[in-house]
Amino acid sequence: MANPIDASKNAPGIQPGSGDFLSRTRVVKSPWMVRVLTFLMVFGPGLIVMEADNDAGAVSTYTQAGAQYGLKLLWLLIILLPVTYFCQEMVVRLGIATGEGHAAMIYQRFGKWWGRFSLFDLQLVNFFTLVTEFAGISLAFAAMGVSPWISVPAACAGLVTMVTTGSYLRWERITILLCLLDTAWLVLGWKGGFGAAQVARNGLVPSMPDGGLTFDYIFLVIATVGTTIAPWQLFFQQSCVADKKLRFKDLDASRWDTFIGAVFTIVVAGGMMLVGAILFRNKVAYTDPAQLATVLGPHYGRFFKSAILMLMVNASILGTTAVSLSSAWAWAEVKGWDHSLQLKFKQAPGFYLTYIGATMAAAGVVLIPRAPLQVIIVGVQVLAGVMLPSALVFLQIMLNDKELLGDPFVNRPWNNRVNWTIIALMFALSAVLAAQVLLPGLFPAPAA
């Protein structure tokens, strides 16, 4: 390993002995308490990166999947669990080993051309994603009778306040709480009355819908895969791990954090599908999540409708904070600015202004009358499809960089076999999705 990185630059730190229950330095008597406390201290980035991916777009995709095909796509979520875990575990390893963010590593190891490509594409796809998040907030609050001119600026102000407190732990704990609120999807899904045996069978046994294999089905499968694994996640978690100053000895705890996050996210996604499946069972057409809430409200009560709408808002808030931070961290890393949530605004103005600027600009686009939101939503799909395979290739190559990482952190041969398989699959699916958007004439028209 080369000379140590000057970690004090980005985190002046808190004096040992101060802090709350989970951040105060402690002496414990048993090795297992060491493991438990270490895990609790490390826990956070994995859950956040996974659950923040259940954003506005995910709510739309998963509820649509349930509304169109009932429980027939639950098995896909189970398959995606190890895929998303393997991708994010590599990110964790790279972040802990280097203490640097993903964008900075691409610049350092692949050169300026690939670095600029990755950074530019990340910023663009993230910005469009932020627009869709604020569109989700606007849609949900409009269904509750709140004007977008109130809901969108209020959400923007809340998101800026949440991040600019100068405390990584404060931001992390608020975000973890928001993640845990998503367990309400399980309650809503349970209220749909699907039996546990039926859910388990559809989750574990792949099945085809009654209409067989159609292009609509294939594209929804691809959209589901694309929703579950997003390029910003690679950048976010590595930067988050670096900002939290996770150590080599934290690797195991961080892997557990990531695994628990993956399981939690897949389970919540399943809950979203169950809620959408209520429409399928009652043969009601699906338009969007707000319409879903409005249709189900009279049958399941006002709480049900309000819960879906508030969970849409929660999903958008989670998505916005994570995506904006991935942009801010990446930009600041490459520019060489100070970039840590532990720093006050005055200590890292470039970093915070990037976050604030991205958030406010996206909120502003949503408020433009007749803004081309549908074009933006489609654009997100294409750009994510462009970026994800290349981001995975960079990640995979860097995790085989023995000269940089040394033996402890590089991929094992079985890692490489699994990861290259995942990457090849992502290439194929992303190409089909991009082709479906850019060359629609090649494919049969969607069913009416």
Our finding on whether 15 is near other proteins (CB under 8 A) is yes
What is the x/- site pattern for other proteins, positions 41-70, by CB under 8 A? xx----------------------------
Q: Which two tokens stand for residue 371?
A: 């803004």
Q: Which stretch binds other proteins (CB under 8 A): 99-107, 195-203, 209-217, 356-364?
A: 99-107
Cα dist from 297 to 145, 193, 289, 292, whole Å: 15, 15, 12, 8
Contacts to other proteins from residues 314-343, by CB under 8 A: 342
Give least dist CB 174 to other proteins, A: 16
| Subset of 27-46 contacting other proteins (CB under 8 A) | 27-31, 33-34, 37-38, 41-42
Of residues 53, 55, 100, 257, which one binds other proteins by CB under 8 A? 100
Cβ distance to other proteins smaller for residue 70 or 226: 226
What binding mask, one character per residue, do residues 275-314 give for other proteins by CB under 8 A, x or -? ----------------------------------------
Which of 66, 101, 297, 385: binder of other proteins (CB under 8 A)?
A: 385
Q: Shortest CA distance to 69 belongs to which of 269, 216, 222?
A: 216
Kindly state the smallest distance separating residue 110's Cβ from other proteins, in Å: 7
Q: Does 6 bind other proteins (CB under 8 A)?
A: yes
What is the DSSP code (8-state) at residue 378? H
> Distance between the two ends of the chain, CA-based, in angstroms?
60
Shortest distance in whole angstroms from residue 67 CB to other proteins: 29
Contact 274, 127 (CB under 8 A): no
Closer to other proteins by CB, 6 or 210: give it.
6
DSSP state of 442: G
Answer for which of 195, 210, 248, 448 binds other proteins (CB under 8 A) is 248
Among the residue ranges 16-24, 217-225, 328-336, 350-358, the one whose residues contact other proteins (CB under 8 A):
16-24
- Provide the minimum distance between the beta carbon of 405 and other proteins in the complex, in angstroms, as a whole number: 5
Nearer to other proteins, 98 or 164 (CB): 98
CA atoms of 36 and 253, how far apart (whole Å)? 9
Query: Considering all CA atoms of the chain, what is the largest pairwise distance in Å, rounded to the nearest integer?
Result: 68
Report yes or no: 159 and 363 within 8 Å, Cβ to Cβ. Answer: no
Question: Cα-atom radius of gyration of the chain, to the nearest Å?
Answer: 21
State both tokens at 190. Answer: 């349970």
CB of residue 322 to other proteins, shortest distance in Å = 19
Does position 247 bind other proteins by CB under 8 A? yes
Do 293 and 309 meet the contact criterion of CB atoms below 8 Å apart?
A: yes
For position 435 contacting other proteins by CB under 8 A, the verdict is yes
Question: Is the four-CA dihedral 114, 119, 122, 127 of positive or negative sign?
Answer: negative
Residues 139-198 that bind other proteins (CB under 8 A): 168-169
Which amino acid is residue 352, in one-letter code? Answer: Y
C-alpha 77/C-alpha 413 separation (Å) is: 26
Q: Which helix (H) or strand (E) holds 363?
A: helix 349-367
Judged by CB under 8 A, which stretch of 79-87, 109-117, 208-216, 346-354 contacts other proteins?
Answer: 109-117
* Under rule CB under 8 A, residue 409 binds other proteins: yes
**Distance separating alpha carbons of residues 57 and 424, to the nearest angstrom:** 24
Strands (E), 150-287: none
Smallest distance, Å, CB 111 to other proteins?
Answer: 7
**112 belongs to the binding site for other proteins (CB under 8 A):** no
**389 contributes a contact to other proteins by CB under 8 A:** yes
| 434: contact with other proteins by CB under 8 A | yes
- Find out whether 168 and 342 touch, Cβ atoms under 8 Å: yes
Instruction: Tell me which of 200, 213, 361, 397 binds other proteins, using CB under 8 A.
Output: 397
Should residue 403 be labelled a site residue for other proteins when binding is judged by CB under 8 A?
Answer: yes
> Between the CA of residue 185 and those of 54, 224, 316, what are the distances in Å?
11, 17, 14
Amino acid of residue 278:
I
- CB 55 → other proteins: shortest distance, Å? 24
* Residue 64 vs 254, nearer CB to other proteins: 254
Q: Is 407 exposed, middle or buried (0-12, 13-18, 19+ CB in 10 A)?
A: exposed
